Amino acid sequence: MLIELCVIIYILVTIGIALLRKVETNDIGYMFAGRKLTTPAFVMTLVATWYGGILEIGRFSYEYGVVTWLMFGIFYYFAAIFYSIILVPKISSNNFNTIPDAFNKTYGKLTGVVAAIIIVFIVSPAPYLKILSTIIEHIYQINSFNAIMIACTISMFYTIKGGFSSVIGTDKFQFLLMYSGFALVLIFLYTNYGGYEFLSSKLPPQKLSIPGSLNWSYIFVWGFIAMITFIDPNFYQRTFAGVSRKSIQKGIYISVLLWFVFDLMSISIGLYAAAIIPEIQSSPYLDLSSRILPPILQAFFIIAMLSIVMSTIDSFIFVSGFTIGKDILSSLIGQYEKNIYYTRIGIIITAIISVVLATFFKNALDIWYIMGSFAVSALFIPLLCVLYNKRLTNPLLMLIIPIVITLGWFIRPLYPIDSMYPGLASSFICFLVFRE
């Protein structure tokens, strides 16, 4: 009863924070918070948004151990740092407010629309709805589809009304909850069970080593998938919304440090779960919380996980919504003065697509893996061409060919390597062929 009550209070407070934000009536205000995003706000919204797959981190660290830090930590730290050095100056100096807008203004409307369609699948909140529904199922014992619908409706509700300012407001609140919740649980585990000596005595050696039980080929695929950072619209949106180039670069470096701290906590808790619980019923974090944590700490831990997932869902729903509304509907119809109206329609369309995807896939990791492979293959090199003013004779084919190659390899591989490799190679070949 305590957990159910705390969760309801948390959701009501989150909605209240979002609805109390000023409703912006112009495009820049509604979609980019007036381009006045300061470094502290940038850090909190970026860090909270980037951590939505928390149950998958728990599951992966439970099953495979510290190699999780390499695959979902180190690769992404370097990607974020390179993003700050390579792309932030270009995004800040160019007047491209979204990735599809950059393709539209550089290579034409059709190329921009195709880029927008690819972006929609990158920022689908489906994997995070899947994770949130698992938490809701665990708390309230309802079926998966109803849990997904509840999760989607809550996030869609306040995002439609308040836009990016509402997302920032809730992210600040959720940032504080996620760090404090995981820190308290880790302190509890360390105090009651001990530190590294306890883990090393209870866990097999491969869980405390790299690469552990995984092979390097599979691990390096995730290194390439980390390049999705370069084409991630949430990164792009927050960079464009920043008050200055220096404040954004500083914010990214601070974010990397905070990600390192949170990875240390989340992976350590996953290892404790593996050492304490021999068999998982639902999720390592959820099972750990229900079996060994006192009621108050259990409630706080679940709210911390809800904060992580919901901060990602609302960001992804919003970015996907304005990609559909502004970069597809407005572009095709030609009514750019109705960007906010079409963005709200786009948010509803996003919600419908995401519910279908979340129902179809078994776990979030599958969605990340598949969507990341296609997106990086198609957009990574063309986006660099746009931002660095490299002219292409046929930019549309440069987007389409890597998708076709990746899909073909995914369906019928000619050689036992992951489909991203031939897809990315075909994109580079297209660049050599189509560059002016």
pLDDT per residue as tens digits for the range 195-210: 888 888 888 888 888 8
**What's the pLDDT score for residue 44?**
93
300-316 pLDDT, tens digit per residue, is 999 999 899 888 888 88
User: Which CATH number characterizes residue 322's domain?
Assistant: 1.20.1730.10
**Quick one: DSSP state of residue 330?**
I
Spatial separation of the C-alpha atoms in residues 72 and 163, rounded to whole Å: 29
Structural domain contains residue 387: no
Q: Is the pLDDT of residue 265 over 80?
A: yes
The share of the chain scoring above pLDDT 70, in percent, equals 96
Structural domain contains residue 264: yes
Those residues whose C-beta lies under 8 Å from the C-beta of residue 416, and which sit 6 or more positions away, are none
Spatial separation of the C-alpha atoms in residues 67 and 289, rounded to whole Å: 23
How many domains would you assign to the chain?
Answer: 1
**What's the pLDDT score for residue 406?**
87
Structural domain contains residue 297: yes
Which pTM value belongs to this model?
0.87
Structural domain contains residue 231: yes
402-416 pLDDT, tens digit per residue, is 989 988 888 888 777
The total of other beta-carbon atoms located within 10 Å of residue 187's CB is 12
Structural domain contains residue 376: no
Structural domain contains residue 255: yes
Parent domain of 155: 2-362
DSSP string of 18-53, one letter each residue = HHTSPPP-SHHHHHHGGG-B-HHHHHHHHHHHTT--
Structural domain contains residue 271: yes
Structural domain contains residue 273: yes
Lowest mean pLDDT among 86-100, 182-196, 223-237, 365-379: 365-379
Q: Is the pLDDT of residue 358 over 70?
A: yes
Cβ–Cβ under 8 Å, residues 137 and 143: yes
Exposure string over 109-137, b if 16+ CB within 10 A, otherwise e: eebbbbbbebbbbbbbbbbbbbbbbbbbb
